[in-house]
């Protein structure tokens, strides 16, 4: 697969209120690294070769065919309505069937998880979740999640004291913390029902997580199922301690949930799998 991919342009980060490349090192790079890891021939071309509508979408060409990536955390489509038919395919992070299935060229795409696939491989070889030890809640409070993350971390700290861990660590150490964890409580960011990067990474590495219901659809139209791939708590987190204690009483079930999460990640979100999905969507299969 040959890819023409927009290279980073610092001017696009500064000269417009839309800040087209504001998220380049997160979302653009995630897609670029994923394609490279899958063995695609990724050619960086001037970003000015492509149209820019929003800071939460970008264009690329796949074997000469124009494709759009809408990586917004929000459900609203980032591409103007009159431009949608321009694309052979649009891949939407945080796709919603009710809102987006009416667009015949729009498909779900697993959102940001790993930027470094070498670190992922190293982590997979060294992580062994045992459902024993610390209660983790390691996402930094900020933005739309400032108050709810502070609230949940405060609640868990009061309840569990030294057995609660909210520390911020280097990336690989964050992965390795799973080996010391009873469970990870995950508080999503921009929306309280979306799959965030940290939770996605822990799912991929086989850790049982607790969060409100997740509506994010993964590639291949796969949905994360509460009780199978993660443990669902109430949106206000009023039962989160109850859910933690359920894990403490049911470690074998928690370990199985972690295994299920790892399996759905491998079926939907590994680089070669994502490239298969891109091909499938381009062929409208």
Q: Name the one residue in this structure whose structure tokens are 């607790």.
A: 210
Tens-digit pLDDT profile for residues 195-243: 999 999 999 999 999 999 999 999 999 999 999 999 999 999 999 999 9
Whole-number pLDDT of residue 53: 87
Whole-number pLDDT of residue 136: 98
- State mean pLDDT over 188-196: 94
Question: What HEC string does 13-27 produce?
Answer: HCCCCCCCCCCHHHH
Whole-number pLDDT of residue 229: 98
Tens-digit pLDDT profile for residues 77-103: 999 999 999 999 999 999 998 889 899
Tallying the residues shown for the chain, one arrives at 285
Distance CA 121, CA 205 (A): 10
Distance CA 223, CA 221 (A): 7
Gyration radius (Cα) of the chain, Å: 19
Listed residue (47, 177, 42, 72) closest to 123, CA to CA = 177
Phi, psi of 148 (to 5 degrees): -70, -35
How many Cα atoms are found within 13 Å in the side-chain-facing hemisphere of 255?
Answer: 11
For residue 18, pLDDT beyond 90: no
Tens-digit pLDDT profile for residues 142-161: 888 899 999 999 999 999 99
Whole-number pLDDT of residue 141: 86
Count of CB atoms situated within 10 Å of the CB of 141: 16
CATH class of 117-268: alpha beta
For residue 285, pLDDT beyond 70: no
Whole-number pLDDT of residue 284: 85
Which tokens sit at 61? 């060409």
Output the average pLDDT for the chain: 95
Tens-digit pLDDT profile for residues 44-77: 999 999 998 899 999 999 999 999 999 999 999 9
Domain spans in the chain, listed from the N-terminal domain onward? 2-110+270-282, 117-268
Distance CA 185, CA 206 (A): 14
DSSP character string of 94-127: TB-HHHHTTSTTEEE------S-HHHHHHHHHH-
Whole-number pLDDT of residue 261: 98
Distance CA 282, CA 61 (A): 11
Bridge-based pairing state of the strands 65-70 and 89-92: parallel
Decide: 79 and 57 in contact? Cβ < 8 Å: yes
For residue 179, pLDDT beyond 70: yes
**Model pTM?**
0.95
Which tokens sit at 236? 């206000």
Decide: 247 and 207 in contact? Cβ < 8 Å: no
For residue 181, pLDDT beyond 80: yes
Decide: 55 and 12 in contact? Cβ < 8 Å: no
């Amino acid at each position: 697969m040959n890819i023409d991919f927009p290279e980073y342009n610092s001017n696009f980060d500064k000269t417009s209120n839309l800040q087209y490349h504001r998220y380049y090192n997160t979302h653009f790079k995630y897609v670029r690294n994923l394609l490279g890891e899958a063995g695609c021939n990724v050619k960086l071309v001037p970003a000015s070769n492509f149209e820019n509508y929003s800071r939460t979408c970008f264009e690329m060409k796949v074997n000469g065919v124009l494709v759009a990536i809408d990586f917004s955390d929000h459900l609203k489509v980032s591409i103007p309505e009159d431009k949608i038919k321009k694309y052979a395919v649009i891949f939407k992070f945080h796709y919603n069937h009710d809102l987006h299935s009416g667009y015949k060229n729009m498909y779900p795409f697993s959102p940001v998880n790993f930027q470094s696939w070498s670190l992922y491989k190293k982590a997979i070889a060294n992580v062994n979740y045992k459902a024993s030890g610390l209660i983790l809640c390691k996402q930094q409070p900020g933005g739309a999640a400032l108050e709810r993350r502070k609230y949940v971390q405060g609640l868990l700290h009061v309840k569990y004291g030294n057995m609660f861990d909210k520390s911020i660590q280097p990336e690989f150490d964050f992965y390795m913390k799973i080996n010391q964890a009873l469970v990870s409580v995950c508080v999503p960011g921009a929306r309280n029902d979306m799959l965030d990067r940290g939770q996605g990474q822990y799912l991929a590495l086989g850790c049982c997580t607790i969060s409100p219901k997740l509506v994010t659809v993964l590639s291949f139209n796969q949905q994360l199922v509460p009780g199978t791939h993660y443990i669902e708590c109430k949106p206000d987190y009023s039962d989160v301690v109850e859910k933690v204690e359920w894990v403490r009483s049911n470690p074998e079930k928690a370990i199985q949930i972690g295994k299920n999460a790892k399996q759905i990640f491998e079926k939907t979100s590994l680089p070669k799998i994502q490239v298969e999905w891109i091909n499938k969507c381009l062929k409208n299969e």
